[in-house]
């Protein structure tokens, strides 16, 4: 590891994983933390608990703002463990001189997303710091949720599972990059930032018993699949032609040399579900506005150990590795 922290250490990929394992897990790792789930399962499996910090730039972007993403991010982590978001905390760090109208706009977004999740903020903290100490506003949210379905874990995936994505991938990362760099791509490309509990609730109430779920944020789908393959000691094989990617994201990737699998999502999740439930899961997802592009993209095999394989339409294949390097900082 480097002797100083680098931007790549927060990319959600290989460097980020090394930092977490070598520094944080080494200092205070425990059985709950080392499960490496989206949220900790506590109180004998009845509650899920998570926390997240948001430093996104720009704070207002196509499809959302820092207020919206701060609630979606934390509530989605709870939803991925089958938990209904219930109680949240919200701490804000605001730079001196920040516009009051912008703060009101951000809190309005927070209120809207809380309503979608049926959750409420019950504790908070506000810090005002001198100009230049933070970039405009940073937000931390923590959340507790009541688990509606027990046993969801990325450590339990097996060859009985297939892999589904709930929508097209890479939208958030591509939209943030375009907004930040002022790229005029003459499209309506927006972040997919959205609260996922409503669609997860439909899955659970429809009788689907997911093996694992994960929202594909930093590091994108590539990070999720690689983490799953290592945690469950399996091989995940993905059919490239089936992965939904919109034309705008493809264009940005081709223009700038990105790979859509590595780009962040904030309203798209990956689902491992038993083969005999796959079609029903697709039916439920596609009936919801957030899952209209849901697709089975791959399967679990034992072809390799702890690897992800990307199969092309031409019959060739390659490994899809964890993202490395400075991908796109401050996307959430």
- Structural domain spans, the chain: 7-147, 161-319
> Average per-residue pLDDT in the chain?
95
Dihedral sign from CA coordinates of 273, 276, 277, 278 = positive
How is residue 185 annotated by DSSP? -
The tens digit of pLDDT for each residue in 11-56 reads: 888 999 999 999 999 999 999 999 999 999 999 999 999 999 999 9
CATH of domain 7-147: 3.30.1330.10
For 130-183, write each residue's pLDDT tens digit: 999 999 999 999 999 999 999 999 999 999 999 999 999 999 999 999 888 777
Residues whose CB falls within 8 Å of the CB of residue 260, separated by 6 or more in sequence, listed in order = 169, 170, 174, 220, 243, 245, 249, 250, 253
Q: pLDDT band for 2, please (50, 70, 90 cuts).
A: confident
- Position 256 scores a pLDDT of 84
CA-CA distance, 235 to 250, in Å (whole number)?
26
The SS3 assignment for 176 reads: helix
Asked if the model's pLDDT at residue 294 lies above 90, the reply is yes
Taking alpha carbons only, the member of 43, 123, 140 closest to residue 83 is 43
**What does the pLDDT read at residue 329?**
85
How would you label 309-332 residue by residue, b for 16+ Cβ within 10 Å and e otherwise? bbbeeeeeeeebbbbeeebbeebb
Kindly tell me if the per-residue pLDDT of 227 is higher than 90.
Answer: yes
Opening angle at CA 173, ends 13 and 197, nearest 5: 90
Instruction: Kindly tell me if the per-residue pLDDT of 193 is higher than 70.
Output: yes
Cα torsion angle, 79, 238, 7, 176, sign: negative
pLDDT at 1 exceeding the cut of 80:
no
pLDDT tens readout for residues 99-134: 999 999 999 999 999 999 999 999 999 999 999 999
pLDDT digits (tens, 9 = 90+) for 237-280: 999 999 999 999 999 999 888 999 999 999 999 999 999 999 99
**Whole-angstrom Cα distance, residue 238 to residue 215?**
17
pLDDT of residue 184: 66
pLDDT at 51: 98
Quote the CATH superfamily of domain 161-319.
PurM-like C-terminal domain (3.90.650.10)
| pLDDT score recorded for residue 317 | 96
């Amino acid at each position: 590891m480097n002797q100083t922290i680098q931007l790549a250490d927060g990319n959600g990929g290989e460097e980020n994983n090394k930092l977490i394992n070598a520094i944080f897990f080494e200092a205070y790792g425990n059985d709950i933390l080392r499960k490496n789930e989206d949220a900790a399962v506590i109180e004998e499996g009845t509650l899920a608990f998570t926390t997240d910090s948001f430093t996104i730039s720009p704070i207002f972007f196509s499809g959302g703002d820092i207020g919206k993403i701060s609630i979606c991010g934390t509530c989605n982590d709870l939803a991925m463990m089958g938990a209904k978001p219930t109680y949240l905390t919200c701490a804000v760090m605001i730079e001196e001189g920040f516009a009051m109208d912008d703060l009101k706009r951000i809190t309005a977004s927070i209120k809207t997303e809380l309503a979608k999740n049926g959750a409420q903020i019950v504790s908070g903290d506000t810090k005002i710091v001198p100009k230049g100490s933070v970039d405009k506003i940073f937000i931390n949210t923590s959340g507790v949720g009541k688990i509606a379905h027990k046993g969801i874990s990325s450590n339990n995936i097996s060859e009985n599972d297939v892999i589904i994505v709930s929508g097209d991938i890479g939208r958030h990362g591509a939209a943030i990059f375009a907004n930040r760099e002022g790229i005029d791509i003459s499209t309506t490309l927006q972040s997919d930032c959205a609260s996922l509990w409503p669609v997860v609730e439909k899955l659970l109430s429809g009788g689907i018993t997911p093996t694992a779920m994960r929202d594909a944020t930093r590091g994108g789908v590539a990070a999720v699949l690689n983490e799953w393959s290592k945690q469950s000691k399996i091989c995940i094989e993905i059919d490239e032609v089936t992965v939904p990617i919109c034309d705008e994201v493809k264009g940005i990737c081709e223009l700038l040399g990105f790979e859509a699998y590595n780009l962040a999502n904030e309203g798209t999740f990956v689902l491992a579900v038993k083969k005999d439930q796959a079609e029903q899961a697709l039916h439920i997802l596609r009936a919801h506005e957030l899952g209209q592009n849901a697709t089975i993209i791959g399967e679990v095999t034992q072809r390799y150990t702890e690897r992800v394989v990307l199969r092309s339409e031409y019959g060739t294949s390659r490994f899809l590795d964890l993202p490395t390097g400075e991908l796109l900082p401050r996307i959430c």
